[in-house]
Structure 1
């Protein structure tokens, strides 16, 4: 996100990633950290060595989950990855962050479910 000449927020890019089956089973706070890690990797070339930049999350309880004793080994690894960046994390409610949040609700990223069966008759 950047600001235009009038001080309004302008998004530079939206990103989305389809999770692997195992990742779909992660707790929500792990999924949010996974998304942050993905974004840092995706935009690494633009961010390394830069002054402090903001990261916005719509998951307020992530703050509690990132502190001991709640910090899992996986979360610690992902947080250590982001330590090479000058990040300031801000909470932004989903109500005020609707467009990026819509990417996480894409129906084509959900596992497909068989809703009906078709019987094939060999006589036809």
Structure 2
């Protein structure tokens, strides 16, 4: 199960690829079934309002995770592009903090 399940605090991520003659969707359904059965055996329950199934990418810690890697949240990119000119040291530090966070997602 550790091959297709990752956890972060109380979040569970199930990821799947096509293998052994099964499509990625078929593999994913099998993996989900296994995880949900294991949760049921241990009387653990998921909040269905917070669940995302079969997504190409998911939001996580201010970015998006997907099969192609990690990308910045477009809202954060838009926020930095529309940020007003800083007039105080405090405002400049806020902008620099966000810019520093987002720089790892930039090609240039």
Same fold judged by TM-score > 0.5? no
Higher relative contact order (CA 8 A, sep 6+): 1
Task: Tell me the TM-score normalised to structure 2 length.
Answer: 0.31
Task: Tell me the TM-score normalised to structure 1 length.
Answer: 0.28
